[in-house]
Chains A and B, each alone.
Chain A
Amino acid sequence: MPRLPLWKYAVLLWMTVVLVAAFLIRVPDIPILHETSRNLFFHVPMWFTMTVVFGAGLVYSIRYLATGNSTMDRRAEAVTYVGILFGICGLLTGALWARFTWGTWWTFAEPKMNLSAMAMMIYVAYFILRSAFDDPHKRAKLAAVYNVFAATTVPFLLYVIPRQLPSLHPGADGNPAFSDLTAPELRLVFYPAVIGFIALAFWLADLKYRMQTLQDRVDDDSVGA
């Protein structure tokens, strides 16, 4: 076993407990939903986590623009990468859940689905933009500026606009998501799950960051030689 920082062991233990609790907690038998109420512990934290790590990406990008420190650019790239992974998980789990509760994998009548897919595409463009530059300084600067724009769209696409439109998705039409959930005890697992997944995301971003740092060092060496 490598020596890991304590918080990483805490994440492993925490998530294991959350996983067990998510399956064993008694959920109310709501028509249509049935046992899929448990998806609340998995699907929704994907989006919470994505939003938080994209928010972290915004902070790193601004710090890059303020300092020109390439560490901040790498950190921004790492968290954004992980954010996209979680967003993809959110889209896939959402489509699967929709298939068995709404009866369709995807519908263009559903604002939350389409707008979240749009947010993902905006973030995929971040990596396409990065790949367009060979000069690391230019790449870092433009990526940071773009990331400020991308992060600004997230609250509107995922939270503001969907709440104004009619939708089957909880959290639409002016309703906060929890109001139509009849069982408040679901929160006992939901919030710990959110915390656990966010911590896990920062762990993955840490790995990505360290890998990128090494990669850059190797590239620098080969250029210098």
Chain B
Amino acid sequence: MLNFVTTVGVILQHIAVNLALQYDDLWQGSGAADESNVLMQVMAGSNLIFVVLAVSLVIWFVFIFYLIRVERKLAQLEKKHSE
């Protein structure tokens, strides 16, 4: 048991340190993007248009999620009321 807790503690510490390190880079301002992976480099380029696209897609996908939920609820109600 103690072993398990220690292991989890070590993992959490690892994550925390890693997160802090990442922010450490970002706090140093520009240049951080160079060290990130390819996806982040693309996102940070082209006058940040990809960020706007991503934001719009997030909104669109949430909208789709809601639309499909409403569809399902309506289908259930229609089934209930046709009986």
Q: Are A23 and B52 in contact (CB under 8 A)?
A: yes
Could you tell me the distance between the alpha carbons of A121 and B56 in the complex, rounded to whole angstroms? 30
Residue of B60, B72, B78 near A15 (CB, 8 A) is B60
Q: Are A207 and B70 in contact (CB under 8 A)?
A: yes
Residues of B within 8 Å of A35, CB to CB, are 49
CB distance from A22 to the nearest CB of B (A): 8
Taking Cβ atoms with an 8 Å cutoff, the residues of B that contact A are 49-50, 52-53, 56-57, 60, 64, 67-68, 70-72, 74-75, 77-78, 81
Known A-B contacts A20-B53, A214-B78, A217-B81; the reply to A2 vs B68 at CB < 8 A is yes
Could you tell me the distance between the alpha carbons of A35 and B49 in the complex, rounded to whole angstroms? 10
Residue of B52, B53, B67, B74 near A214 (CB, 8 A) is B74
Q: Are A2 and B53 in contact (CB under 8 A)?
A: no
Taking Cβ atoms with an 8 Å cutoff, the residues of A that contact B are 1-2, 4, 8, 12, 15-16, 19-20, 23-24, 35, 203, 207, 210-211, 214, 217-218
Q: Are B72 and A2 in contact (CB under 8 A)?
A: yes
Known A-B contacts A1-B68, A2-B72, A207-B70; the reply to A19 vs B60 at CB < 8 A is yes
Most buried by A among B68, B71, B77: B71
| A-B CB contact pairs (8 Å), 24 listed | A1-B68, A2-B71, A2-B75, A4-B68, A4-B71, A8-B71, A15-B60, A16-B57, A16-B60, A19-B56, A20-B57, A23-B52, A23-B53, A35-B49, A203-B67, A207-B70, A207-B71, A210-B74, A210-B78, A214-B74, A214-B77, A214-B78, A214-B81, A217-B81
Residues of A within 8 Å of B53, CB to CB, are 19-20, 23-24
Residues of A within 8 Å of B56, CB to CB, are 19, 23
Q: Are A24 and B74 in contact (CB under 8 A)?
A: no
The 10 closest A-B pairs by CB, nearest first: A23-B53, A2-B72, A2-B71, A210-B74, A2-B75, A214-B77, A217-B81, A12-B64, A23-B49, A19-B60
Closest to B51 in A: A23
